[in-house]
Structure 1
């Protein structure tokens, strides 16, 4: 027995009838979120996400400033304590919390650690900013989908003649209905 499938017929398309014009354009939401982080979430009626966006970006920003200060302190100490470089204080004076007789290799390792951690935090800031934009864009696309429980389908099975082989078969068509 041959079975032929017909295309799906949408009887009632709720995305066009229920005010799709009121939904924001996803591209517009994306650009707004690029300009000001959190603006896209506000346009999508998800203002509860905005404090999280600013907490993550603010926390990472504060931590990057802290790591940059530490990096600058250890960079100055490394060049000031190094006997191979002239004592010109080109990166500033050695901070008081770093002893004058500190191990040069340890100071260099700490300087590199703070620089690497700072650079990783910069990557985290870019990722958090991008996640903010992606979240606003994807949710703007998903707002038009109907996820209610009143969706159903109506299958129709009919006898038919197959076009290619002129053999009798069955046609299956499915109508998706919104109640």
Structure 2
């Protein structure tokens, strides 16, 4: 009697342990494939286990380095556009800044009401000594205002770079395939009625 109980307990333990190991192996195979590598784990860590990047992460990267969000969204072709826009505006702002300083120095140096101490630098060679003070003032104000406006455009381009990456990261999971039509299907079915035998019917399915 004691021997049969011991054999029964041993058999039960073996069955439970075997079932647990099989279920654990099934769970491991379900969540971690056999060919799962360190590269796949790093990719899942970067993407938070999703095929699509986190929009907030994309926004932060775009604000840190322009174009980084587009790279994260796998839109590398937009990076030259981003840097072309920012680089062109920056170059133009530098040109306007230099012109503004030149005309400011010329207006100060050629104005008889201000001492000729070259406070803002010497007068450039391309500006004649007999230039009209009113024209010099207008040119100075023009280049200063245009430079400040370009600074605003640089800020807008920087923000547009981040907004573009953020919006695309949000829209990326949506289905944008060419097949977005509606499909209607009908098939015979059996409708169950309480306290009565089943009755034949037709089911209508509409898929968008």
TM-score above 0.5: yes
> Number of residue pairs matched?
142
- Residue 21 of structure 1 aligns to a residue whose secondary structure is coil
Larger radius of gyration: 2
Partners of 1:36 and 1:73 lie apart in 2 by: 33
Q: Who is 1:22 aligned against? A: 51
- Aligned pair partner of 1:57 in 86, 104, 107: 86
Would you tell me which structure has more helix in proportion to its own residues?
2
Deviation at 1:175, TM superposition (A): 7.3
Q: TM-score, normalised by structure 2?
A: 0.64
Partners of 2:70 and 2:206 lie apart in 1 by: 32
1:157-178 residue CA offsets vs partner (Å, 9 max, x unmatched): xxxxxxxxxxxxxxxxx97747
Partners of 1:176 and 1:45 lie apart in 2 by: 35
- Residue 54 of structure 1 aligns to a residue whose secondary structure is helix
Q: Please list every run of 5 or more consecutive structure 1 residues that lacks an aligned counterpart in the other structure.
A: 1-19, 156-173
In the TM superposition, 1:1-179 aligns within 5 A as 21-148=50-177, 149=179, 152=182, 177=207
Partners of 2:163 and 2:205 lie apart in 1 by: 34
Partners of 2:205 and 2:96 lie apart in 1 by: 61
Partners of 2:83 and 2:180 lie apart in 1 by: 38
Partners of 2:53 and 2:181 lie apart in 1 by: 24
Contact 1:151–1:176, Cα closer than 8 Å, also in 2: no
Deviation at 1:31, TM superposition (A): 0.5
Would you tell me which structure has more strand in proportion to its own residues?
1
Partners of 1:176 and 1:65 lie apart in 2 by: 61
Partners of 2:129 and 2:180 lie apart in 1 by: 75
1:98-126 residue CA offsets vs partner (Å, 9 max, x unmatched): 11110000000000000011011101101
4+ long deviations beyond 6 Å: none
